[in-house]
Structure 1
Amino acid sequence: MRSRATRPGETYGVPGQGETLWLSIGSVMTFLFFWWMVTTLGWVEPLFMPSPQATVAKFFEIIDQGFTNTAFVHHVAISTARVFGAFALACAIGIPLGLAMGMSPLVRGIFDPPIEFYRPIPPLAYLPLMIIWFGIGETSKVLLIFLSIFAPVTLGARAGVRSAAIEQIHAAYSFGASRWQVMRYVILPSALPEILTSMRIGVGFGWTTLVAAEMVAATEGLGYMVLSASQFLQTSTVIMGIVVIAAIAYLFDTTMRMTEKKLVPWKGRM
């Protein structure tokens, strides 16, 4: 009996892209079914776990009426601007710095200790310092998110430099390539998979830090909405806000995966 031929990028015995999609759909549907069953049968009080239909109803209610006299779209826009503003700043500074750290022992020796020192510290630990130094305005919020994204993006770019084969670098120099040409045509393409992966990880940290950033003196944003609703035991609003944050983050992650396929189609096939 002949087995079917494997498609490009598919390993024998491993589910293909179509099978993986159906497995994911089945996993989500199973979770929703158990959520519906647990709440419908009254195994958990609605105060602690509202039903899926109550959460969906709350979602449309907030879309229609807003939250704390502010339109829901405005809350989404504010949080998205904070996260992606910090993300763009972290990439603009972190990627060149990471590449420089990977190529130069001098740059690595200067910047590696402070980055590695603050990287494992939870954002809530240095949130008070951000408030003392920069006040309770937008600067402290964006800077807190920036710091959570900056370390993984920088270290990812630094690690990506090591992906470039030394033979390719020496060959480029032997053909008369300049240092900039080696960076542009040899090192950067080799580091790009690691850079894109670190960007995906970094923006995930950014959304995680959003709630902490909006804990202090915030009057708008998804994190503020979740925290404010929790204080009044509006569990359906809390869950709805969490789902919206996860949906936006997942949409960005999917976009980054599509970008990876376009920019680095060889990733995972070598």
Structure 2
Amino acid sequence: MKKTKRKENLRLYTYATWGIILLAWFLITEFGLVTSRLVPSPLQVVQSFIEMMQKGYNGIPLWSHIGISLYRLFVSSFLAILTAIPLGLMSGYFKRFRAIIDSVVQFYRPLPPLAYYTFLILWLGIDESSKITLLYLAAFAPIYLACVSAVSNIDPNYLLSAESLGASKKDIFFTVVLPASLPEVFTGLRTAIGIAYTTLVSAEMVAARSGVGWMVIDASRYLKSDVMFVGIIMMGITGVLLDWVLRKLENKLVFWKGMQ
């Protein structure tokens, strides 16, 4: 009962925060404190959303823009998960393997995406391959580093106990290392999805003609602030929903999280 009440109280704080933000937005635009060219009113944004739902943007339906962006995000994230988790876990468990992979990841990780995106376009073309590769690289590093950190933080006594019972390296990896690492791995997944989503705008602002990121960039060229707000709000909502799905999935799959 106490936990339920605490959750309800925390939700009230969240609702109050967003209520204040919306109220401030309404008052600022209602009293003309900022020109509508820069900050459109909530009503303008709603009307723009309805119009885009009916007519689309640049001849492309709004849901198609959202769909292609999510397609790029999901494909790149899936490939990153498929490769970064095993490489990260093995790098954390086997020092020789880490010596091979870690330096490469640490080299490209701090590079701004646009610094090497032009090379990806030259090598892979302007179609989906270059965009998905860019998002893949953005998502790979956080997942990989989370996996390495997760293995490094495992209590050595667990590994020694398994070895004393005659477990092989393979058995220890799948029965001790992997389950103990999953909570931190999921944290890395949530971080990676967020980074990949922010990189999506960079991927779509160059050599693209569709996607929510491209829509926002294109609207900014013509000072269509209402369209920009619609795109930003849509990206924010989908980002929150993706994080919510990952948290629910984590609670289902990593039910032992927090247990001593």
Counterpart for residue 37 of structure 2: 47
Give distance in 1, aligned partners of 2:143 and 2:6: 30
Give distance in 2, aligned partners of 1:71 and 1:16: 42
Give CA deviations for 1:200-250 in whole Å, capped at 9, x if unaligned. 000001110111101122111111111111111100100110110111111
Match of 2:144 among 145, 154, 157: 154
Q: Is 2:169 the counterpart of 1:171?
A: no
Match of 2:64 among 60, 74, 88: 74
**Per-residue deviation, 1:197:** 0.4
**Per-residue deviation, 1:176:** 2.3
**Per-residue deviation, 1:268:** 4.4
**Per-residue deviation, 1:263:** 2.4
Counterpart for residue 232 of structure 2: 242
Give distance in 1, aligned partners of 2:232 and 2:258: 32
Counterpart for residue 84 of structure 1: 74
Counterpart for residue 63 of structure 1: 53
- Segments of 5+ residues of structure 2 without an aligned counterpart are none
Q: Is 2:13 the counterpart of 1:19?
A: no
1:185-224 correspondence runs (5 A): 185-224=175-214
Q: Is 2:120 the counterpart of 1:130?
A: yes
CA contact (8 A) 1:145 1:209 kept: yes
One-letter amino acid matched to 1:238: M
Residue 68 of structure 1: SS of its match in structure 2?
coil
State the TM-score, normalizing by the size of structure 1.
0.92
**Per-residue deviation, 1:71:** 1.0
Give distance in 1, aligned partners of 2:158 and 2:181: 13
One-letter amino acid matched to 2:115: A
Give CA deviations for 1:109-166 in whole Å, capped at 9, x if unaligned. 1111111111111111111111122121111111011111000011111111123221
Give CA deviations for 1:41-71 in whole Å, capped at 9, x if unaligned. 1000000000111111111110111111111
Match of 2:28 among 21, 31, 38: 38
CA contact (8 A) 1:162 1:191 kept: no
One-letter amino acid matched to 2:11: L
One-letter amino acid matched to 2:111: I
Give distance in 2, aligned partners of 1:131 and 1:82: 15
One-letter amino acid matched to 1:164: I
Match of 1:116 among 89, 106, 118: 106
Give CA deviations for 1:55-95 in whole Å, capped at 9, x if unaligned. 11111110111111111111111000001100000000000
Give distance in 2, aligned partners of 1:143 and 1:135: 11
Give distance in 2, aligned partners of 1:170 and 1:6: 40
Counterpart for residue 253 of structure 1: 243
RMSD of aligned Cα (Å): 1.6
Give distance in 2, aligned partners of 1:54 and 1:124: 33
Q: In terms of mean alpha carbon deviation, does 158-167 or 61-70 score higher?
A: 158-167
Moved over 3 A (4+): 265-270
Give distance in 1, aligned partners of 2:258 and 2:219: 43
State the TM-score, normalizing by the size of structure 2.
0.96
Give distance in 2, aligned partners of 1:266 and 1:29: 36
